[in-house]
A and B are shown apart, each in its own frame.
Chain A
């Protein structure tokens, strides 16, 4: 079944079909060119692989379990397996990427790390990796997000990072990304920009996907141990920028027996104006150096998304996912705030696992699609719900 290999991988121009590329100002061109020339050699080198795998095992705590959710499976009359990225160090899949990119930065001789963060999860994972390696760390975060996410700001500071408020535009994730890019323009020599998702100019989407691919690499052997088949029938993940989905899909993209489902956040509803369902809206453009679907006005101004989940409210989507949608390789569903809250409560009470709000969007697939009794359905639980307790308390009245 492994025909037409690499159909869904990035091409030599940095494109996934008609998406991707590197739409960057000339000031960033040498940095991007340099990274493009070295990232594959570094990732494929024995030295990198040895160090990366060792850190994933002993520091991050991998492999993360593939857990058969018995009671949830009984309720939906199918076989549900949860990929437990929530059990990673720092509480989400983000750390797979930051540990990998920090090693790439070190190989490139960079000693100053910059990152953008929305809710602070990627910022914390970056600050963690920098503390581990003894590198300087600057995290850009929207002024509004800094106020909303005080515990994560404190974690980053405790880890030694400098947190800089992005005060331009809407003062949220997209503006923090702009500020990080501006920093990189001004500091091209010593600085490495550690992007947190499969977004941005080529080679970032491919680099981040490769570093998150450990998720599907493990699913592939774990599912063999748990079922009579050597592949799952479905892999389901939530998608904002799309890094945990890219990692969950990566090793299955060319195996058409495996159905891929990505769940976007539709906030108050796709047509409500208060949404982050980028693909459902389907408007093509260029954001942060990548051609993809994004949320914009009729005049091409990028608009602010909305979701209850801070990790999913990015106005664009990784070019890989735009391509998987375009080629119909993946189905893209959407879940509202309420769907996510309902699914979070359901998982907590049936399985004793409090999921992150982002991951709860993936769980909402169970209410949107009927699976067969014999199907094996892997749902990636990208993060744990500790960071969302305030939202849960407010909505459930605890």
Chain B
């Protein structure tokens, strides 16, 4: 069982944060993760910046551009993770687009993930069939959980298929949108959360997209194992830099009842 699987099994109301690695400065990755861990974050999705992030809104696009300009790459990121694993024990999930991974070599990538202490990977544009046909064995043999997305438009049958082939969590995209696009959770979305809950899935779900404050976080936790905050956190860094205090306040404001 990797750190991620253990967390999903043991922790309720999982507070998870997406953060673009190497933003706002190249070497902010470790201090930001330290601050997140200290303030009680359970899980981090570490963004691997890409030139063409087509599922992301302006906030994460901008952070990716900046991180690339700072010199972030998979090679640099793996070095950073390796260095910080002595102090960071939260599960780390890498999130990004398929092309840089493909260019690095998928096999080399998965092995490196395993070597430096990455627990899971989210590649939104790696389709399920492609994963199953070519990469599932590789991921499973190396103990790396591949995380799939589902959306309000995903049919029940497909959700079940994804559930059967997941061993980390399922990323529930809360609405038809890119990251950072919508505020709040509507009745329609609640209906979708309930529909998925009634499918009797074996994999835990984390809700993301549109989770930005205490209210939306709590609502999401009512319907899933936890939730992921992305753009709101990246915006905080944009405004305050990698300030430990700002990060601590941010987490406290959302997490605490």
B125 touches A188 (CB 8 A): no
Could you list 5 examples of A-B contacts with CB < 8 Å? A25-B54, A25-B124, A27-B151, A169-B51, A301-B68
Closest 10 CB pairs of A and B: A300-B103, A300-B100, A25-B124, A26-B149, A301-B51, A30-B153, A299-B73, A25-B55, A178-B54, A181-B54
**Residue picked from B57, B65, B102, B125, most chain A C-beta under 10 Å:** B125
Write the nearest CB–CB distance from B169 to chain A, whole angstroms: 14
The residues of B that contact A22 with a CB separation of less than 8 Å are: 127
Write the nearest CB–CB distance from B206 to chain A, whole angstroms: 14
The residues of A that contact B54 with a CB separation of less than 8 Å are: 25, 178, 181-182, 185, 288
A287 touches B99 (CB 8 A): yes
The residues of A that contact B58 with a CB separation of less than 8 Å are: 168
Among B8-16, B39-47, B135-143, B170-178, the stretch that binds chain A is B170-178
Chain B residue nearest to A23 in the complex (CB): B125
A185 touches B52 (CB 8 A): no
Q: Does B19 contact A (CB under 8 A)?
A: no
Q: Does A174 contact B (CB under 8 A)?
A: yes
A286 touches B102 (CB 8 A): yes
Considering only residues 137-159 of chain B, those with a C-beta below 8 Å from chain A are 148-151, 153-155, 158
**Of A13, A286, A294, A298, the contact of B98 (CB 8 Å cutoff):** A286
Given contacts A182-B57, A285-B102, A287-B99, contact A26 B148 (CB under 8 A): yes
B154 touches A29 (CB 8 A): yes
Per-residue contact bits, chain A 283-294, to B (CB 8 Å; 1 contact, 0 not): 011111100001
Chain B residue nearest to A291 in the complex (CB): B102
Q: Does A302 contact B (CB under 8 A)?
A: yes
**Of A30, A185, A284, A302, the contact of B55 (CB 8 Å cutoff):** A185
The residues of A that contact B74 with a CB separation of less than 8 Å are: 299-300
Given contacts A29-B154, A186-B177, A188-B176, contact A300 B127 (CB under 8 A): no
Chain B residue nearest to A13 in the complex (CB): B129
Write the nearest CB–CB distance from A272 to chain B, whole angstroms: 21
B127 touches A169 (CB 8 A): no
The number of inter-chain residue pairs (CB within 8 angstroms) is: 113
Per-residue contact bits, chain A 210-244, to B (CB 8 Å; 1 contact, 0 not): 00000000000000000000000000000000000
A300 touches B126 (CB 8 A): no
Distance, CA A298 to CA B102, complexed state (A):
11
Write the residues of chain B forming the contact surface with A, with a CB cutoff of 8 angstroms. 50-58, 61-62, 65, 68, 73-75, 98-104, 124-127, 129-130, 148-151, 153-155, 158, 173, 176-178, 181
Distance, CA A74 to CA B101, complexed state (A):
53
Given contacts A26-B154, A188-B153, A302-B51, contact A21 B127 (CB under 8 A): yes
The residues of B that contact A13 with a CB separation of less than 8 Å are: 129
The residues of A that contact B150 with a CB separation of less than 8 Å are: 26
Write the nearest CB–CB distance from A278 to chain B, whole angstroms: 14
Write the nearest CB–CB distance from A211 to chain B, whole angstroms: 24
Q: Does A187 contact B (CB under 8 A)?
A: yes
Write the nearest CB–CB distance from A29 to chain B, whole angstroms: 7
The residues of A that contact B62 with a CB separation of less than 8 Å are: 168
Distance, CA A303 to CA B56, complexed state (A):
19
Write the nearest CB–CB distance from A25 to chain B, whole angstroms: 4
The residues of A that contact B50 with a CB separation of less than 8 Å are: 300-301
Q: Does A24 contact B (CB under 8 A)?
A: yes
B100 touches A301 (CB 8 A): yes
Distance, CA A62 to CA B101, complexed state (A):
46
Considering only residues 153-176 of chain A, those with a C-beta below 8 Å from chain B are 168-169, 174-175
Distance, CA A31 to CA B127, complexed state (A):
14
Distance, CA A182 to CA B74, complexed state (A):
25
Q: Does A296 contact B (CB under 8 A)?
A: yes
A187 touches B65 (CB 8 A): no
A185 touches B127 (CB 8 A): no
The residues of A that contact B100 with a CB separation of less than 8 Å are: 299-301
A299 touches B103 (CB 8 A): yes
B99 touches A25 (CB 8 A): no
**10 new A-B pairs (CB below 8 Å) besides A27-B153, A187-B176?**
A21-B127, A26-B149, A27-B55, A29-B151, A169-B61, A178-B53, A286-B98, A300-B99, A300-B103, A301-B100
Chain A residue nearest to B182 in the complex (CB): A186
